[in-house]
Structure 1
Amino acid sequence: MSHISVNFLVVGDTGVGKSSIIASFFGEKIQPIHLPTHVLSASHCTFAFSSKEVEAYICDLPGSEHFRPIVSCFYPGAAAILLVFDLINKHTFNNLPRWMHDIRETLPAHSVVVLIGNKSDLEKARVVSRAEAQIFADRFHLRYFEVSAALGLNVGLAFDVAAGLVLDKVEERDGATSEEDKAVSSCDMGEEERLIWKKLM
């Protein structure tokens, strides 16, 4: 089976749960105390479709304002960006237009952006409704998922759909046509690759 190698970026404000989402996806233990990400780290995962394998390097990027100029430098090499906000923190939702502005300025036209609202398990504490998040997603033509990194809800689905959308874009770009596939992912957290960037596109 042929395969493509691509980069996925997980971005969003600090504290929204980007690292926890990645840890949940790989079946790793989630840290109970938030520790801001200060270095770039990448983990490897393969999504198997009927027509092709998508080999993804999933990169966890810092979310603090200090790192924004650095983070934006990685957008041109990304096949997919998972933009995360916190359903119980309105400030992180209000900052999404700034993220989209930076993303749109440098992201290749054939790349995919998926919007993720984290902490869906904290329903009583949520301050961003599904409706308003969906309105934002529709405005920018994004797929939207509500996930819980703590419980593992919809985390795998969001990554699988992102991989499928990337494959669709690649085949569309290459002039190929295919049916919609369901991904079977095979992932390995392995040893974190820090302070690296692999340009595979």
Structure 2
Amino acid sequence: MTDALKILLIGQSKVGKSCIILRFCEDTFKPNSGSTIGVDFKFVEHKVDQKVHRLQVWDTAGQERFRTITSTYYRNMDGVLVVYDITDQNSFEQVTDWVKEIRKHAPIDICMVLVGNKSDLNGSRKVTQENGKNLAEFLNCPFIETSAKTGTNVSEGFTTLTRAILKIKSEKGEQQKKKVRSRKLKADQPQKKACC
């Protein structure tokens, strides 16, 4: 098995990042798990397209005071789930600030998926699915609504992100192979001798 794919969950405090991770990694739900202090991570094996991939899933604190700590972790990530709470308009409005942080600190080709969490609370919805889709389209990333409580679409969110990461890694690998082949061809060509 290759190195673990590093995935970061970011978003405002109380949007359910830790609950999403617990549902995905342990298939449990703890609604009152408290706020994450700093960062935490878990390893999980996840099957995508008939192949098992090892994921290192990072949980981050959503509070403003931890943003500088969190931003240092962006550099080493392969992908990010940007999470908001569908019952909290402010958490949705803050998504663009989180994406600015990603674009400022993360590799240029980092993959993102926009996640509207707490879809089980549809009766308390403040952010429409259409608004989520429109923002994802604007950010040029996939969109999914999840429920950490029921498990709805949690695995699918990670699958979508994993596929995007693998596609980028594959494209990078092909580019590297082409560069190596090009260098080899140049090295194999006979050198022209200088006159005089």
Structure with the greater alpha carbon radius of gyration: 2
Greater strand content: 1
RMSD value, Cα: 1.7
The match for 1:45 is: 44
Counterpart Cα distance in 1 of 2:157 and 2:88 = 21
| Structure 1 stretches lacking a partner, 5+ long | 177-201
Q: Is 2:57 aligned against 1:55?
A: no
The match for 1:196 is: none
> Which residue identity is paired with 1:111?
I
Counterpart Cα distance in 2 of 1:5 and 1:150 = 26
Q: Is 2:80 aligned against 1:81?
A: yes
The match for 1:195 is: none
| 2:38/2:69 contact within 8 Å kept | no
TM-score (normalised: structure 1): 0.82
TM-score (normalised: structure 2): 0.84
With 102-111 and 51-60 compared, the bigger mean Cα shift is at: 51-60
Summarize the alignment of residues 186-197 of structure 1 with structure 2, pairs less than 5 Å apart: none
Counterpart Cα distance in 2 of 1:111 and 1:104 = 9
Counterpart Cα distance in 2 of 1:53 and 1:175 = 21
Counterpart Cα distance in 1 of 2:173 and 2:53 = 15
User: Equivalent residue of 1:117, what SS?
Assistant: strand
Aligned residues: 175
> Which residue identity is paired with 2:44?
C
The match for 1:129 is: 128
The match for 1:17 is: 16
| Structure 2 stretches lacking a partner, 5+ long | 176-196
Q: Which has the higher contact order (CA 8 A, sep 6+)?
A: 1
Percent of matched pairs sharing the same residue: 27
The match for 1:93 is: 92
Greater helix content: 2
> Which residue identity is paired with 1:30?
F
> Which residue identity is paired with 2:131?
E
Pair 1:108–1:51, CA change in 2 (3 A):
farther
Counterpart Cα distance in 1 of 2:147 and 2:7 = 19
